[in-house]
Chains A and B, each alone.
Chain A
């Protein structure tokens, strides 16, 4: 699929296939094209070129059939603050053709499932961010969708709410729902997704299982902080141990073959040159390394935020 907005190429080329029962993580920084892709897949935006099928139906020519089969929780928990949780669930149930009694039963089940039974008769405007997200999820599940789209479902949530939402996504998937999840959080993609597609600048730059992607990056990353006066010499020393990796200014990062086994060797080499080491970290490859390997940049929101080039 492609999507242009005038001269702007929001999605340059996305080719992907999500299998039934899979959690597919769509990982990328802000502005990478994640939400535009989701809007196309959920029939909210027409692709400029290309074709997409969801649950067996073309999103452009059979949009109505697609809408009947998908659940959508968009980026900003689009919920009417003047309504109560119960009222919104009944509304959503009716929009999907579920009768009054069945809708009420299903709504109560879902509220219980997301831990909002007691808040069901309160106006949504009084809910916390986490409660709104959980209600948003419940609304998207009212008609038992075959495919669930979650667009950055945990953005802005505290760690506890994030864990709760992850548990619920896992449970839904275990019950058979195919999940398409966009996120800018590495940990989220790593924890939840069976397969990950990394998007940057409207292109999928890597795709695979998190384990395979990390293994493909290869060696662990050794990160080193030294005095500014020793920086050039330290770079020369480190170059002998592995290739440079993207790191923030003033820091050195290399891919260290055999990781921990060679750490003592690195320390000795630096010591021989009288280079004072301020901090030293050895990390196994992460999805951030995968992203950096593919794009030469670190992902926004990752631990090493602000890193840019070796």
Chain B
């Protein structure tokens, strides 16, 4: 059983060499453009953590006087790190639904039928999430500053937080991409979000681990998100710390590496039938 299709031009000397870096950059650019052209998918995700922060800062204002509560100007200042992670998480899940949409609407096939690396196709799709992570971090820093909750670590501290947010955005995006590749459904990606939300609640996002007890505390101490939040929080409350930044970054990179590896596994599974 054979099929043969002959081209008109038999010479291939005029073929353009594929530049993989350029291809990655244009696909990442598409991811960023597409993400920001759907404001409805991220504006609420960016605003919701601010509302939670406003309510919590008002309700728990006196919590800062508790013994073992970290030194801070206000509960709002304490909340900045958790709010950043929360906003990053919301936006990243939305960004990763775009990959599932590519599968649903067939655009993925167009990319797969072109001579570019499969890994590039996946990783470039997370560029929108990373850019959003950076943007939402800077936005929250400005808003909290306006309400009297500055970052004590100054510019270096803010840079650390931006980098951590970007890496975490890629990590969360990798998780969403894995779900999207596994199911091929944007809705399934959205529906997987509560799992991450629970992970955020069982961390130091909204309360210091030092004031937790029992099993809840043990889970929070094992939760990788706690380490990233604590690294950010150190920059906010105590000033810039390279050591804290490195610890947070290592955990964030490990988290991102594991979710992307999981997503690549799903991509490989999906492409098992592709030449």
| With known contacts A1-B3, A51-B2, A177-B8, A63–B275 Cβ distance under 8 A | yes
- Check B106–A78 contact: CB distance below 8 A: yes
Partner of B7, one of A52, A80, A98, A178: A178
0/1 interface trace, chain B 117-157, chain A, CB 8 Å (1 if under): 00000000000000000000000000000000000000000
Residues of B within 8 A of A37 (CB): 3
Residues of A within 8 A of B273 (CB): 45-46
Partner of B113, one of A1, A44, A80, A146: A44
Does B22 sit at the interface, judged by CB under 8 A?
yes
Interface stretch among B31-39, B200-208, B215-223? B31-39
Does B60 sit at the interface, judged by CB under 8 A?
no
Residues of B within 8 A of A21 (CB): 8
Residues of A within 8 A of B111 (CB): 95
Does B81 sit at the interface, judged by CB under 8 A?
no
Q: Which residue of B lies closest to A84 (CB)?
A: B33
- Check B107–A79 contact: CB distance below 8 A: yes
- Check A147–B16 contact: CB distance below 8 A: no
Closest beta carbon of chain B to A13's beta carbon, Å: 6
Interface centre among B7, B102, B105 (most CB of A within 10 A): B7
| With known contacts A20-B10, A176-B9, A139–B110 Cβ distance under 8 A | yes
- Check B3–A17 contact: CB distance below 8 A: yes
Does A280 sit at the interface, judged by CB under 8 A?
no
- Check B105–A176 contact: CB distance below 8 A: no
- Check A56–B7 contact: CB distance below 8 A: yes
Does A42 sit at the interface, judged by CB under 8 A?
yes
- Check A95–B1 contact: CB distance below 8 A: no
Does B12 sit at the interface, judged by CB under 8 A?
yes
Does A43 sit at the interface, judged by CB under 8 A?
yes
Interface centre among A17, A52, A94, A180 (most CB of B within 10 A): A94
- Check A178–B26 contact: CB distance below 8 A: no
Residues of B within 8 A of A53 (CB): 2-5
Q: Which residue of A lies closest to B3 (CB)?
A: A52
Residues of B within 8 A of A270 (CB): none
Closest beta carbon of chain B to A136's beta carbon, Å: 9
Q: List 26 A-B contacts (CB under 8 A).
A: A17-B2, A18-B4, A19-B6, A20-B8, A37-B3, A41-B3, A43-B113, A53-B4, A54-B4, A56-B6, A59-B275, A67-B115, A68-B15, A72-B110, A76-B105, A79-B110, A80-B30, A82-B33, A82-B37, A90-B26, A91-B26, A92-B110, A146-B7, A146-B8, A147-B7, A176-B9
Further pairs besides A49-B1, A99-B16: 8, Cβ < 8 Å = A17-B3, A43-B275, A46-B273, A50-B3, A87-B33, A90-B26, A95-B23, A176-B9
Could you tell me the distance between the alpha carbons of A146 and B10 in the complex, rounded to whole angstroms?
8
Closest beta carbon of chain B to A292's beta carbon, Å: 26
Could you tell me the distance between the alpha carbons of A54 and B3 in the complex, rounded to whole angstroms?
8
Q: Which residue of B lies closest to A123 (CB)?
A: B37
| With known contacts A20-B6, A50-B3, A97-B17, A70–B113 Cβ distance under 8 A | yes
Residues of B within 8 A of A80 (CB): 30, 34, 102, 105, 107
- Check B19–A78 contact: CB distance below 8 A: no
Could you tell me the distance between the alpha carbons of A44 and B108 in the complex, rounded to whole angstroms?
10
- Check B106–A76 contact: CB distance below 8 A: yes
Does B114 sit at the interface, judged by CB under 8 A?
yes
Does A60 sit at the interface, judged by CB under 8 A?
yes
Residues of B within 8 A of A2 (CB): 1
- A-B complex: 7 closest residue pairs judged by Cβ atoms: A146-B7, A78-B106, A50-B1, A97-B16, A52-B3, A63-B275, A176-B8
CB within 8 Å of B: which A22-75 residues: 24, 37, 41-46, 49-56, 59-60, 63-64, 66-70, 72, 74-75
Contact residues on A (Cβ < 8 Å of other chain), bracket: 35 or more
Closest beta carbon of chain A to B29's beta carbon, Å: 8
- Check A97–B8 contact: CB distance below 8 A: no
Residues of A within 8 A of B5 (CB): 17-18, 24, 41, 52-55, 147, 178, 180
Does A133 sit at the interface, judged by CB under 8 A?
no
Could you tell me the distance between the alpha carbons of A68 and B15 in the complex, rounded to whole angstroms?
8
- Check A74–B19 contact: CB distance below 8 A: no
Residues of A within 8 A of B265 (CB): none
Could you tell me the distance between the alpha carbons of A147 and B4 in the complex, rounded to whole angstroms?
11
Partner of A78, one of B2, B38, B105: B105
- Check B2–A52 contact: CB distance below 8 A: yes
Residues of B within 8 A of A52 (CB): 2-5
| With known contacts A56-B7, A178-B7, A46–B274 Cβ distance under 8 A | yes
Residues of A within 8 A of B10 (CB): 20, 56
Closest beta carbon of chain A to B5's beta carbon, Å: 4
- Check A50–B2 contact: CB distance below 8 A: yes
Residues of A within 8 A of B18 (CB): 68, 95-97
Could you tell me the distance between the alpha carbons of A206 and B14 in the complex, rounded to whole angstroms?
37
Partner of B27, one of A17, A91, A180: A91
- Check A95–B3 contact: CB distance below 8 A: no
- Check B34–A72 contact: CB distance below 8 A: no
Q: Which residue of B lies closest to A59 (CB)?
A: B275
